[in-house]
């Protein structure tokens, strides 16, 4: 119950203590909403609706001897000749509009200004929204408090008035709120507040607060303050008082950060940037670094960086690398970068990060002398290992950096050159160490051929095996992080891919081979792997082998098939399988048919893998293993690779850019392993180029290559994901302060957590309003509650006489509380 309603009840009780009737005249009807909704404890109200005779008829019919008590409310001024004169003489009569009521009950000092402020629609709006607009008040109430309350009501701000919120609300939806201020005659009051508290005068134009002046003060204040005075003279007429400008800078930040207001920030920024030719007034670099008011600032900063780098090339880049990093880091976090309107900074930041990481890795590489292949692979696969550099290069590829030649030449190419230098030196060192091996194995590193025995057969429970093509180590690490974030227990086991690191060999090595040998033969220039005498060259061959070895214990799916099945259908499909195998060849296929691969492609694949792993866990599989056949090299555009012509193709030789297998002519400059050294049954050998060298073949050299000897191609891993035992979730209990009546089209509903402990989990809820139990009328926004109470806004689009208000768990649709509520709106005829 509002404080105003309490005072009305108290006054009515006092004036009817010894009188059967109280006639309350209220010129302008300012108290009509309060009176009509007040429960007067034994006093029957009658609201004048145009007929005094109807009032008399009602009383004479229901209480002819006036033994009860009555309140007659007339939303008009009293007249000398009254139709209710006998009631006035018998009872009590009072002329009491909102102004006089506040004067007598709240200590308001009345004068002409206060009377105008509280008359008509303003007074009624304030009275109807008293608790929200004024709240708990300490007497005496002041004129300033009334103005704040009226503005709170006009801007629908909720309890309390915040001028900053009002300003941002106004500039973001001027058409609505300007009309509302005009209707309530509050433009001047709003302008006075802006002038007094924010130091911006003369904002009234044509009788309304100019939204352009307010927007300009916000944006140009940030420009001037954050640039150490840049544009101060040029935009002086648009600025507030100097001592108030920090307040406007804060407003600019609030404006950008509020998602619902962000579009208006962008719109006004673009309008004002063009109108005032902002670019012509800007210069420098350091002063503009943290200014976000205008998108053109990014153009100025980019031009300045380009001027510093051109035509100095890599040397100039290295000198400016700290500056480039600071600018790119700051500008990649602006509203313009976050909304995709400026894209260059993500590319530049990725480039400078790659440049720095590559140089640091080069220094570390120089310190490694006479190391084994295991040493290099361990350094590559460490938790903070060199695999991160490959991830940075993919991020750079995904940024669109190669679409703009200026960006590529000045910012990407130096990073590519540094990455290429590290990549070349690393792969040479790695290949030299590999050339010292007599057989393809590394102590203490799991070999790919042992995967099924050590990981699948060793599992004591139902297991799913995802055989994913070309899941390079950095991609596997990304998958691991996503699975950890989903709450699964994840272990990563490094694994050495078999060479040549191609799908036909790697996928075959992942299969179970109970007492059988893995063999390779070459036919028509193609690799033909087999287990014992059975071909496993194609995906269908490998599927037949799995079904032959495992029988009814195995179920085999394609990756996307798992994604499309419902949980119930997947559960039934897997119910009797001890081993579920999921296959995919997406990356290899993409590398073959796509000219370039961006990180967005890889991110999408990792996202699908996370989805599939989660679905398999949800279908009752406790352990999911993700394995791959090989990794790959993604060569940067700025890198040129050496080509050797020393290997001739023939029907007895299968060739790729990074290997030749069968019985190729021996070449001393290439690394050679016999089939026995590779763990194959058969007679032959395989050759591998050193470093980044590729074999000469028809066609262009694609940037996606694999099959050879490098950490990126052979340093793979197995991801083991385990679902945690399901524990019954104890969500926080929530109560909602659902009122008995709804008296405003816009209202706030309080929601409060109960019996909260550190063990209770959050709950996401919303308030829903239903008519007749089956027709949804409206719903609040969804909010997550755990420890703190919150309030949500409810906006009625219809107003039936009675509704059901429900507190609903958004995730489970459980109705936590419900209540039948009367709807008694006054002044909302359009909703009835």
Ordered alpha helix ranges (H), 435-502: 451, 473-485
Q: DSSP assignment of 536-583, as one string?
A: --SHHHHHHHHHHHHGGGEEEEEHHHHHHS-HHHHHHHHTT-SEEEEE
10 Å CB burial of residue 164 (0-12, 13-18, 19+) is: middle
CB 831 within 8 A of CB 799: yes
Spell out, as residue ranges, where the chain has pLDDT lower than 50: 590-599, 727-728, 828-832
For residues 418 and 361, the answer to whether their CB atoms sit within 8 Å is no
Strand (E) or helix (H) holding 2:
none
Q: Please, what is the Cα angle at 517 between 515 and 521, to 5 degrees? A: 160
Which residues, listed in sequence order, are joined to residue 770 by a DSSP beta bridge?
Answer: 776, 804
How far apart CA 588 and CA 235 sit, in angstroms, is 58
Q: Is 743 helix (H, G, I), strand (E, B) or coil?
A: coil
Nearest residue to 287 (alpha-carbon basis) of 331, 333, 233, 223: 223
pLDDT of residue 623: 94
* 3-state SS, one letter per residue, for 478-495: HHHHHHHHCCCEEEEEEE
* Lookup: tokens for 272: 């004002």
Other residues' Cβ atoms within 10 Å of the Cβ of residue 527: 22
Using CA atoms, how far residue 60 sits from 51, 55, 280, 803, in Å, is 15, 9, 81, 34
HSE (CB half, 13 Å, CA atoms) of 248? 29
Q: Select from 782, 824, 783 the least CA-distant residue to 803.
A: 824
Residue indicated by tokens 């058409």: 175
| Torsion of Cα atoms, 390 then 395 then 396 then 399, to 10° | 160
Give residue for tokens 């969500």.
731
Give the pTM: 0.72
The residue among 599, 611, 607, 557 whose CA lies nearest residue 579 is 557
CA distance 35 to 22: 13
Please answer whether residues 475 and 634 qualify as being in contact, where contact means their C-beta atoms are separated by less than 8 angstroms. Answer: no
Which tokens hold the place of 487? 């709450």
Q: Which pLDDT value is given to residue 477? A: 95
Show the beta-strand stretches assigned E in 620-697. Answer: 623-628, 633-634, 643-644, 653-656, 659-662, 671-674, 685-688, 694-695
Distance between CA atoms of residues 674 and 313, nearest Å: 46
Place of tokens 């609505």: 176
Measured CA distances, 532 to 95, 112, 209, 487, 504 (Å): 106, 105, 86, 42, 15
Cα of first residue to Cα of last residue in the chain, in angstroms, is 24
Picking from 520, 512, 621, the residue whose alpha carbon sits closest to that of residue 576 is 621
The pLDDT value recorded for residue 831 is 47
Tokens of residue 729, six digits: 């979730």
For 537-547, how does the pLDDT look when each residue is reduced to its tens digit (9 = 90+)? 999 999 999 99
Give the containing element (helix H, strand E) for 534: strand 534-535
- pLDDT tens track for 663-721: 999 999 999 999 999 999 989 999 999 999 999 998 888 888 999 999 999 999 999 99
Q: What angle do CA 585, 588, 592 make, to 5 degrees?
A: 130
According to DSSP, residue 291 is labeled: -
Other C-beta atoms closer than 10 Å to the C-beta of 491 total 11
Q: How far apart are CA 501 and CA 659, in angstroms?
A: 9
* CA angle 668–669–674, rounded 5-degree value: 60
Closest CA to 351 of 777, 580, 636: 636
The C-alpha atoms of residue 714 and residue 294 are separated, in whole angstroms, by: 48
Predicted local confidence at residue 596, as pLDDT: 46
Distances (CA, A) of 159 to 129, 260, 639: 10, 20, 63
3-state class of 205 per DSSP?
Answer: strand
Tally DSSP H helices, then E strands, for the chain.
34, 33
Helix (H) or strand (E) holding 122, with range, is helix 120-128
């Amino acid at each position: 119950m509002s404080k105003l309603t309490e005072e009305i009840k108290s006054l009515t009780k006092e004036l009817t203590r010894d009188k059967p009737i109280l006639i309350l005249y209220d010129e302008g009807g300012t108290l009509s909403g309060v009176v009509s909704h007040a429960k007067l404890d034994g006093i029957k109200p009658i609201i004048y609706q145009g007929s005094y005779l109807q009032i008399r008829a009602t009383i004479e019919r229901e209480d002819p001897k006036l033994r009860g008590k009555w309140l007659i409310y007339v939303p008009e001024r009293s007249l000398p000749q009254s139709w209710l004169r006998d009631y006035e003489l018998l009872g009590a009569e009072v002329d009491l509009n909102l102004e006089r009521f506040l004067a007598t009950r709240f200590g308001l000092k009345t004068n002409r200004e206060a009377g105008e402020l509280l008359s008509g629609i303003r007074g009624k709006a304030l009275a109807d929204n008293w608790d929200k607009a004024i709240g708990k008040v300490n007497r005496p109430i002041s004129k300033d408090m009334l103005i704040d309350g009226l503005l709170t009501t006009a801007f629908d701000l909720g309890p309390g008035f915040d001028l900053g919120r009002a300003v941002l609300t106004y500039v973001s939806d001027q058409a609505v709120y300007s009309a509302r201020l005009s209707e309530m005659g509050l433009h001047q009051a709003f302008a006075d507040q802006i002038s007094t508290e924010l130091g911006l005068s003369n904002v009234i134009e044509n009788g309304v607060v100019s939204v352009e002046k307010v927007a300009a003060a916000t944006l140009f204040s940030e420009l001037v303050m954050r640039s150490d005075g840049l544009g101060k003279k040029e935009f002086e007429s648009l600025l507030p008082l100097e001592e108030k400008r920090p307040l406007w800078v804060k407003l600019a930040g609030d404006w950008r950060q509020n998602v619902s207001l962000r579009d208006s920030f962008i719109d006004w920024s673009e309008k004002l940037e063009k109108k005032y030719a902002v670019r012509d007034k800007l210069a420098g670099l350091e002063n503009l670094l943290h200014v976000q008011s205008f998108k053109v600032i990014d153009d100025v900063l980019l031009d300045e960086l380009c001027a510093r780098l051109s035509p100095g090339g890599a040397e100039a880049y290295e000198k400016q690398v700290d500056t480039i990093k600071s600018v790119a880091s700051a500008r990649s976090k602006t509203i313009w970068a976050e909304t995709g309107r400026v894209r260059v900074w993500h590319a530049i930041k990725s480039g400078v990060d790659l440049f720095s990481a590559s140089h640091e890795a080069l220094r570390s590489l120089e310190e490694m002398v006479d190391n084994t292949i295991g040493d290099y692979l361990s350094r590559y696969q460490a938790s903070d290992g060199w695999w991160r550099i490959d991830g940075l290069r993919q991020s750079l590829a995904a940024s669109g950096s190669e679409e703009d030649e200026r960006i590529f030449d000045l910012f990407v190419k130096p990073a590519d050159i540094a990455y290429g230098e590290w990549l070349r030196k690393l792969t040479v060192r790695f290949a030299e160490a590999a050339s010292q091996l007599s057989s393809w194995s590394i102590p203490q590193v799991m070999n790919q051929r042992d995967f099924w025995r050590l990981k699948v057969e060793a599992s004591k429970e139902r297991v799913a095996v995802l055989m994913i093509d070309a899941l390079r180590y950095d991609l596997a690490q990304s998958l691991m992080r996503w699975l950890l974030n989903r709450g699964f227990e994840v272990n990563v086991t490094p694994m050495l891919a078999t060479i040549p690191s191609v799908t036909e060999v790697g996928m075959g090595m992942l299969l179970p081979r109970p007492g059988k040998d893995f063999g390779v033969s070459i036919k028509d220039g193609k690799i033909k792997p087999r287990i014992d005498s059975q071909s496993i060259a194609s995906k269908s061959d490998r599927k037949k082998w799995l079904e032959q070895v495992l029988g009814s214990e195995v179920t085999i799916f394609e990756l996307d098939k798992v994604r499309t099945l419902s949980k119930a259908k997947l559960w039934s499909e897997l119910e009797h399988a001890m081993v579920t195998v999921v296959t995919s060849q997406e990356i290899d296929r993409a590398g073959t048919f796509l000219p370039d691969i961006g990180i967005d492609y890889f991110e999408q694949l990792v996202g699908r893998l996370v989805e599939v792993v989660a679905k398999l866990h949800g279908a009752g599989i406790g352990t999911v293993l993700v394995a791959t056949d090989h990794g790959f090299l993604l060569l940067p555009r700025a890198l040129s690779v050496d080509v050797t012509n020393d290997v001739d193709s023939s029907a007895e030789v299968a060739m790729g850019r990074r290997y030749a297998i069968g019985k190729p002519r021996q070449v001393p400059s290439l690394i050679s392993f016999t089939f026995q050294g590779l763990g194959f049954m058969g007679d032959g050998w395989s050759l591998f180029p050193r470093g980044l060298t590729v074999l000469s073949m028809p066609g262009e050299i694609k940037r996606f290559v694999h099959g050879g000897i490098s950490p990126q191609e052979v340093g793979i891993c197995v991801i083991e994901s385990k679902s945690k035992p399901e524990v019954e979730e104890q969500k926080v209990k929530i109560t909602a302060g659902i009122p008995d009546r709804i008296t405003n089209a816009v209202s706030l509903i309080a929601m409060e957590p109960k019996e909260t402990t550190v063990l209770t989990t959050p709950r996401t809820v919303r308030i829903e309003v239903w008519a007749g139990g089956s027709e949804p009328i409206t719903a609040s926004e969804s909010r997550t509650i755990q420890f703190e109470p919150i309030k949500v806004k409810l906006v009625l689009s219809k107003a039936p006489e009675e509704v059901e208000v429900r507190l609903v768990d958004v995730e489970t649709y459980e109705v936590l509380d419900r209540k039948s509520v009367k709807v008694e709106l006054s002044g909302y005829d359009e909703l009835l």
